[in-house]
Homo-oligomer: A and B are copies of this chain.
Amino acid sequence: MNLGVIGLGSMGYGMAASLLRAGHRVWGGDVNREAVARLQTEGGSRQDLAEAAAELDALVIVVLNADQTEEVLFGQNSMASRLRKGCVVICCVTVAPDFARAMEKRCASQGLLYLDAPISGGSVKAAQGKLSIMASGSAEAFAAARPVLDATAEAVFELGDAAGAGSAMKAVNQMLAGVHIAAMAEAITFGISQGVAPETFLEVIPRCAGTSWMLENRAPHVVEGDYTPHSAINIWPKDLGIVLDSARQVGFSAPLTATALQQFAAAADMGLGREDDAAVAKVYAKQAGLTLPAKKGK
């Protein structure tokens, strides 16, 4: 298949590499020319993505947010007007369900299929082609997207026959993930305040009822004092903002989500926006005057 991937950050690049490994022809697009050039050295097409648009069978969008998604499809260099009829747009961006529904409609008006397909799993799984994809869309969109899903995901949840359901499930997952990261931070620092060493916390809690996927994934960053961003603080004001906007529209009160968002926003205000999201522990430590573990060898 002829495939385009727009947005070659850690998630998009990993997906593009997985598509190349599966034998597809892949065109990469990104404002970061280095990422595009790197994909070309690994087997990506050297032709410009916009010029190849009419030849594509699918366009995978892995940009940062809804605004960038809309710009890619309907902005100055409108990809929607360049793609051939029947091409499928696979949108992997975390967006509001309403936005996904609007994009599906606008794409349909241009003769394009649309798959609402937010992803979960992190950059390591993206590179391995082992993402989880929460997908919804028409049977035609699923059929056209199948080779892409097969090459990039180990689990594809088929959540309905129209855009919106995939993004709704992603919002539910992000709500939990964000609250759990902040809860890990609150608990590991509370532990310090009570004489529980972070290493002991990490030894005991994963074997008790207080554990979570995020705790087991992120608490080691705090224990090691290593805030190299696997997923950055800045993701969370955006993703939890989507959750709270969607909640507000239907009169749903989400106090834990709102509280977690405040903690991530406080971290961003401290200048930690580009650090790993486990750095939200620094908000708690600063408030209470506690010292977190330093990075080994520093």
Residues of A within 8 A of B (CB): 97, 120-122, 132, 134, 155, 157, 159, 164-165, 168-169, 171-177, 179-180, 182-184, 186-191, 193-196, 200-201, 203-205, 207-215, 217, 243, 246-247, 250-257, 259-260, 262-263, 284, 287-290
Kindly list chain B residues whose C-beta atoms are within 8 Å of the C-beta of A179: 179, 183, 186, 256
Partner of A259, one of B194, B195, B203, B259: B259
Indicate if the CB atoms of B247 and A164 lie closer than 8 Å. Answer: no
Can you give 14 A-B contacts (C-beta < 8 A)? A97-B195, A120-B209, A157-B203, A168-B196, A173-B205, A176-B184, A180-B212, A190-B243, A193-B247, A209-B217, A212-B213, A252-B287, A253-B287, A255-B259
Report which residue of A134, A204, A205, A260 has the largest number of chain B beta carbons within 10 angstroms of its beta carbon: A204
Indicate if the CB atoms of A190 and B132 lie closer than 8 Å. Answer: no
- A204 CB, min distance to chain B CBs, angstroms: 5
Indicate if the CB atoms of A193 and B250 lie closer than 8 Å. Answer: yes
Partner of A164, one of B195, B253, B287: B195
Report Cα–Cα, A203/B287, bound state, in Å. Answer: 39
Contacts A173-B205, A183-B183; A210 near B213 (Cβ below 8 A): yes
Contacts A172-B191, A173-B209; A262 near B252 (Cβ below 8 A): no
Q: Which secondary structure characterizes the binding site on chain A?
A: helix
Kindly list chain B residues whose C-beta atoms are within 8 Å of the C-beta of A173: 204-205, 208-210
Indicate if the CB atoms of B247 and A176 lie closer than 8 Å. Answer: no
- Nearest residue, chain B, Cβ from A203: B157
- Nearest residue, chain B, Cβ from A157: B204
Indicate if the CB atoms of A252 and B211 lie closer than 8 Å. Answer: no
Kindly list chain B residues whose C-beta atoms are within 8 Å of the C-beta of A254: 186, 190
- A198 CB, min distance to chain B CBs, angstroms: 11
